[in-house]
Amino acid sequence: MRTELLFALALGYLLGSIPFGLVLTRLAGKGDVRDIGSGNIGATNVLRTGSKPLAAATLVLDCLKATAAVLL
């Protein structure tokens, strides 16, 4: 039981540390999203880069990340 809990905590922490907004904008060649708009790496600031598909992908991936952490 203790090992499972530690594994779940570690995995939840690792999931939460993935900055999807930053990763997606860099992969798309849009630069560093932290230098645009509010400086936040969330979906709203990704939308300010002018890419609705990237913003939608960021939103979906952030929601899935949170859901996965809760389901652990």
How confident is the model over 6-58, as pLDDT tens digits? 999 999 999 999 999 999 999 999 889 999 889 899 999 999 988 899 999 99
CA 17 to chain centre: 8
pLDDT confidence of residue 50: 85
The number of distinct structural domains making up the chain is 1
Which structure tokens are listed for 23? 């990763």
DSSP conformational letter for 19: -
What is the DSSP secondary-structure string of 21-49?
A: HHHHHHHTT---GGGSTTS--SHHHHHTT
Domain that holds residue 43: 2-71
